[in-house]
A and B are shown apart, each in its own frame.
Chain A
Amino acid sequence: MLTNLPPNRKPVKCRWVFAVKSDGRKRARLVAKGFSQEYGVDYEDVFSPVARFESVRIILALAVQNAWTLQALDVKTAFLYGNFEEEIYMEQPEGFVKKGRDERKVYCLLKALYGLKQAALVWNIELHKSLQRLGFNRIVSDAGIYVHQGVTGNKKVKVLLILIIYVDDVLFTGSDQKYLGMMKEKFMKVWECRDLGAAKEYLGM
């Protein structure tokens, strides 16, 4: 939202980042320069929980022991979904300033951008809300792990689903493959994802 900068505020800077991905696709992404944010004004809390490596290994060991399937996803442009409590002003990006019109105006951000200090945190808050709506509970021992207990079929067989969250990398595992697939579909309706299928790799391992 283009607006006038309130007095006593400095706008956050931004720049374009261009990348060529390993599969040849090209990407242009506008990122905020988080280091130009002012503490207490532009941000407060920045900590965002991720799963502990130990939990990841423990869950993988359980998956092998119980012959569970693993399904991996990554959420596309995850950080752009976040909402703020703070009002953040950002200068207009290069190439978007029209000469003679609103040259001195700044943007008041409605959604998060990559590079902002609290980007990971505000994304995690949105993700957490959506997982709760889908019936997943965050466990106390590790804020990066969610569980879902449901029943399936006529015989009401109990099923357990475990979700590992590492920023925007998601790993699904659980006892019932069909049920897991159904919950994964539900998750992908909420968030636009890249479906990596049966997990060959997670967190670069």
Chain B
Amino acid sequence: MVDQVKYLDKILKRFDMQDCNPANTPLPEKYDPVASTGESNSKLRSQYQSVIGSLLYLMLGTRPDIAFAVIKMSQFSASPTEDHLNHAKYIFRYLRANREYGIEFKRDTSLRVEGYVDADWASDRNDWKSCTGFTVLFNTSPVSWVSRKQKTVATSVTEAEYMAISDTAKQICWIKSLLEELSFDIPPVVLYKDNMGSIFLAQNPAQERRTKHIDIRHHFIRECVQERKVIQLRHISTDKQLADVFTKALGKVKFLGFKSFLVTNLTRIKSGGVLRK
């Protein structure tokens, strides 16, 4: 079990959020922040950046459940507004209500590695770029997670999804080479995707008029799927798409469903004598 409860308590205290109102989700549902046009004052900016920095450290360590919220808010670090700061602090309200969470690593008859990947097309209203989200699980526990704005504008849902798969493929290739260097070999990683078009595109070398503009680097995924057999794409229904939580601010019901797959409550397993990091 790994957790950063001590660190979380420290930052809640530092930003005077120990007694804030609890929240059920890291951001209000469908919260869609607007970038500020003006310069923000330097005091606000430095406070904002230290809030985001602390949240990032926590998120990268043991809290994939706040990944989307932290990354979204971090995009305004250059010129934040009061509204941005209040929403960054909203994440603390969620954390205060969900303090004792961490990642529990589990044992199984054999090591199972699988991934989930999703994209939210043109979700950023400031520049119409899409968002990539993915996670890789070892025996159902997350070891790697990403929520990231795509670098180029996708002209269709399929294209955004395809670029997200390609991002994930790179990470899975890295994990595979790490494992090989540690003398472990794994079968092809099953990667779950809820978009048939992008799966088709990744599995077939056909070049269509509507997809020929997609940057060549994204076709890396075809090599991973067809030749090297590192990844096996499989369809999953949207309501079971775990990576959804890394691409948008979900409502309470959906969020809580996915959260339980990512982080584990410490108090529930403390008595079990499990390994603690």
- Scan residues 19-41 of chain A and give those whose CB is less than 8 A from a CB of chain B: none
- Scan residues 82-111 of chain B and give those whose CB is less than 8 A from a CB of chain A: 102-103, 105-108, 111
Query: Is A151 engaged at the interface, CB distance under 8 Å to the other chain?
Result: no
- Chain B residues with CB under 8 Å of A204's CB are 4, 6-7
Query: Is B276 engaged at the interface, CB distance under 8 Å to the other chain?
Result: yes
In the complex, the answer to whether A58 meets B107 with C-beta atoms within 8 Å is no
Cross-interface CB contact of B178 among A141, A160, A201, cutoff 8 Å: A141
- Chain B residues with CB under 8 Å of A58's CB are 138, 143-144, 175, 178-179
Interface-central residue, A59, A67, A204, by most chain B CB under 10 Å:
A204
Query: Is B61 engaged at the interface, CB distance under 8 Å to the other chain?
Result: yes
Give a binary string over B155-185; 1 marks a CB under 8 Å from any A CB, 0 the rest.
0000000000000000000110111011110
How many Å lie between the Cα of A60 and that of B139 in the bound state?
12
How many Å lie between the Cα of A59 and that of B177 in the bound state?
13
How many Å lie between the Cα of A204 and that of B10 in the bound state?
12
How many Å lie between the Cα of A70 and that of B177 in the bound state?
23
In the complex, the answer to whether A139 meets B141 with C-beta atoms within 8 Å is no
Query: Is A65 engaged at the interface, CB distance under 8 Å to the other chain?
Result: yes
Given A57-B103, A65-B107, A204-B4: A139 touches B178 (CB 8 Å cut-off): yes
Query: Is B275 engaged at the interface, CB distance under 8 Å to the other chain?
Result: yes
In the complex, the answer to whether A54 meets B139 with C-beta atoms within 8 Å is no
Main secondary structure of the interface of A (DSSP, over half): mixed
- Chain A residues with CB under 8 Å of B106's CB are 64
Interchain nearest-CB distance for B170 vs A (Å) = 12
- Scan residues 130-162 of chain A and give those whose CB is less than 8 A from a CB of chain B: 139-142, 145, 147, 149, 160, 162
Cross-interface CB contact of A141 among B142, B181, B184, cutoff 8 Å: B181
> CB-nearest residue of chain B relative to A137?
B181
Interchain nearest-CB distance for A27 vs B (Å) = 21
- Chain B residues with CB under 8 Å of A149's CB are 183
Cross-interface CB contact of B277 among A140, A162, A205, cutoff 8 Å: A205
Query: Is A97 engaged at the interface, CB distance under 8 Å to the other chain?
Result: no
Kindly state the interface size class of chain A when it binds its partner: 20 to 34
- Chain A residues with CB under 8 Å of B182's CB are 59, 62, 139, 145, 147, 160, 162
How many Å lie between the Cα of A156 and that of B182 in the bound state?
19
Query: Is A200 engaged at the interface, CB distance under 8 Å to the other chain?
Result: yes
In the complex, the answer to whether B138 meets A142 with C-beta atoms within 8 Å is no
How many Å lie between the Cα of A199 and that of B276 in the bound state?
8
Interchain nearest-CB distance for B192 vs A (Å) = 19
Query: Is B62 engaged at the interface, CB distance under 8 Å to the other chain?
Result: yes
- Chain A residues with CB under 8 Å of B178's CB are 55, 58, 139, 141-142, 145
- Chain B residues with CB under 8 Å of A196's CB are none
Supply 27 A–B pairs (Cβ within 8 Å), ascending by A.
A55-B178, A57-B2, A57-B143, A57-B144, A58-B175, A60-B2, A61-B111, A62-B111, A62-B184, A63-B105, A64-B139, A65-B111, A139-B181, A139-B182, A140-B177, A141-B174, A141-B178, A141-B181, A145-B178, A149-B183, A160-B183, A200-B276, A200-B277, A204-B6, A205-B61, A205-B62, A205-B277
Known contacts A63-B275, A64-B105, A65-B105; 4 additional CB pairs below 8 A are A59-B182, A62-B184, A145-B181, A160-B182
Top 3 nearest A-B pairs (CB, nearest first) are: A61-B138, A64-B105, A141-B178
